């Protein structure tokens, strides 16, 4: 199965639980990354293992950065089928308005990276959707470039 690519997606959505764009890969074993940039307060999200059309909205896993010129906040979370968000990991990072986010899922294991550095590794099979996508909250000016999603 080939990788899915799309480029230079400008977002204007303030609800981060709404997928701005997504693609189905047909497998829950996925390696997905995207370059994000924006203004102070933007909250770009990279979603994986997404299942859409549930009673609670989109379910899946995401890595999110709260962008800032002072510091960035990393969050890895799961949104379940009822719409409940469970924070799996948070970390304060150095300042920056541009980063590469990456999520990789193989079986029940998954990892989250920022700028090529591993920040989280865990195991969870609460959500097993086959879609990946992007979303954003905050200031609403985030930009998504070089989105690559590859089945593994």
Tens digits of per-residue pLDDT, 119-147?
999 998 888 888 888 888 777 788 888 88
SS (H, E, C) 112-147: EEECCEEEEEEECCCCCCCEEEEEEECCCCCEEEEE
Per residue in 91-120, pLDDT tens?
A: 999 988 999 999 999 999 999 999 999 999
Give the chain's mean pLDDT: 82
Between 27 and 19, residue with greater pLDDT: 27
Q: Degrees (nearest 5) of the Cα angle 57, 45, 14?
A: 65
Cα 23 to Cα 16: distance, rounded to the nearest angstrom: 17
Which pLDDT score is estimated for 20?
62
Per residue in 28-39, pLDDT tens?
A: 899 999 999 988
How many domains does the chain contain in total?
Answer: 1
Q: Which CATH number do you get for residue 130?
A: 2.60.120.560
> Residue 34 sits in which domain range?
4-151
Beta strands in the chain (DSSP E): 4-6, 9-10, 21-24, 30-37, 43-54, 57-66, 72-79, 85-93, 98-106, 109-114, 117-123, 131-137, 143-151
Q: Degrees (nearest 5) of the Cα angle 30, 44, 42?
A: 170
Token pair recorded at residue 35? 């370059």
Which pLDDT score is estimated for 15?
52
Q: Taking a C-beta distance cutoff of 8 angstroms, is the pair 49, 122 a contact?
A: no
Residue 19 — very low, low, confident or very high, per pLDDT cuts 50/70/90? low
């Amino acid at each position: 199965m080939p990788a899915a690519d799309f480029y230079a997606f400008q977002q204007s959505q303030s609800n981060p639980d709404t997928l701005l764009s997504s693609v189905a890969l047909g497998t829950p074993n996925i390696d997905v990354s995207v370059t994000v940039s924006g203004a102070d307060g933007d909250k770009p999200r990279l979603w994986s293992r997404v299942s859409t059309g549930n009673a609670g909205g989109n379910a899946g896993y995401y890595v999110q950065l709260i962008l800032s010129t002072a510091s960035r906040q990393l969050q890895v979370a799961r949104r379940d089928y009822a719409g409940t968000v469970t924070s799996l990991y948070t970390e304060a990072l150095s300042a920056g308005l541009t980063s590469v986010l990456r999520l990789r899922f193989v079986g029940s294991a998954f990892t989250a990276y920022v700028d090529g550095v591993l920040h989280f590794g865990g195991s969870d099979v609460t959500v097993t959707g086959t879609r990946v996508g992007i979303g954003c909250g905050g200031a609403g000016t985030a930009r998504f470039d070089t989105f690559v999603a590859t089945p593994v």
